[in-house]
Amino acid sequence: MSKMHSVAVIGLGSMGMGVATSCIRAGFDVYGIDLSDAARQALAAAGAKGTSHQCTDFAAQLDAVIVLVVNAKQVNAVLFESGLAASLKAGTPVMVCATISADDAKAIAAGLAQYDLCMLDAPLSGGAAKAASGELTVMASGEPRVFDQLEPVLNAVAAKVYNVGPEIGKGSTVKIIHQLLAGVHIAVGAEAMAMAARADIPLDLMYDVVTNAAGNSWMFENRMKHVVEGDYTPTSMVDIFVKDLGLVADSAKAMHFPLPLASTALNMFTEASNAGFGQEDDSAVIKIFSGIELPKKER
């Protein structure tokens, strides 16, 4: 196993910040890359070795790169358009954690291979809290040697690492199928809470019943709490699920496979985005239901 000392985390959002601080706790020299001044300052205060808005600034000393941006377009921008791939030492493993299509994952891996760089197709799940505690779930595919290289990093950031095999794109496919469930659970949770509101059932009571009964899900428990509190400050936005359920739909279309529930959930998130809630927490999908009174955030 190669020695792993310095790691760059590109994208210091709610997940990326947690991954970066987990790597700091594990004793790595961590370099944080983000366009946000506030994010860079927060990571510097947490003990980062260096921060920058330029992807190439620390390329020469890196043993691994973790990419935690939103979509394939951003992955391509930070790896290739920035010049980072061309600046890294040959053989440096690049862990791509964005939720992207299998085809995009394969294309990115092929692009990295031109610079003699190897990729782990490694989407994450667990949200900001699990990212911060280093207890994420990673569903990854790639060559065994890349798993070996990145083992210290995976140990630092994850409670569970699933090896989906050597084929790039398989990790992304597992994540996409997971997002089908996540998106449908939020949408159906919103539908249930909207019906409760219509029936004049107090939403805090409805929430308490469901979270202590068989209809609960992790997403219901996590997201419908935001509805009860009337707080739609985003940890994950409506527009993220427009993207992710769009990937679900595209993947199913390529397989000629019907997805009746995921299709409906995608329409609900799209409607919420079009209504102006795209940048709010994904639980704001409940706002598409008319004729109901929702809790307001206490000032």
Q: How would you write 193-207 as a 3-class SS string? A: HHHHHHCCCCHHHHH
Reduced to 3 states, what is the DSSP secondary structure of residue 56?
coil
For the packed helices 14-25 and 37-45, what is the interaxial angle rounded to 10 degrees?
20
Residue 131 identity (one-letter amino acid) = A
Domains 6-166 and 173-288 share a fold: no
Q: 46 CB contacts (<8 Å, ≥6 apart)?
A: 20, 21, 24
The pTM of the full predicted model, rounded to 2 decimals, is 0.94
Is residue 175 part of the annotated active site? The answer reads yes
For the chain, which residues make up each domain, given as ranges? 6-166, 173-288
Q: Which residue intervals of the chain are DSSP H helices? A: 14-25, 37-45, 72-76, 84-87, 102-113, 127-133, 144-157, 170-198, 203-211, 218-229, 238-255, 260-272
User: How is residue 57 written in tokens?
Assistant: 């600034």
For the packed helices 238-255 and 260-272, what is the interaxial angle rounded to 10 degrees?
150
CATH for the stretch 6-166: 3.40.50.720
Q: Which of 49, 130, 170, 175 is catalytic?
A: 175
The total number of residues written for the chain in this structure? 299
Question: How far apart are the C-alpha atoms of 152 and 154, rounded to whole Å?
Answer: 6
Q: Is 11 left (phi over 0), alpha (psi -120 to 50) or beta?
A: left
**Contact of 101 with 72, CB cutoff 8 Å:** yes
Please report, in tens digits, the pLDDT of each residue of the chain (299 residues total): 457 899 999 999 989 999 999 999 999 999 999 999 999 999 999 999 999 999 999 999 999 999 999 999 999 999 999 999 999 999 999 999 999 999 999 999 999 999 999 999 999 999 899 999 999 999 999 999 999 999 999 999 999 999 999 999 999 999 999 999 999 999 999 999 999 999 999 999 999 999 999 999 999 999 999 999 999 999 899 999 999 999 999 999 999 999 999 999 999 999 999 999 999 999 999 999 999 999 999 87
Q: How far is CA 92 from the centre of its chain?
A: 23
Residue 138 identity (one-letter amino acid) = V
Domain 173-288 classification at class level: mainly alpha
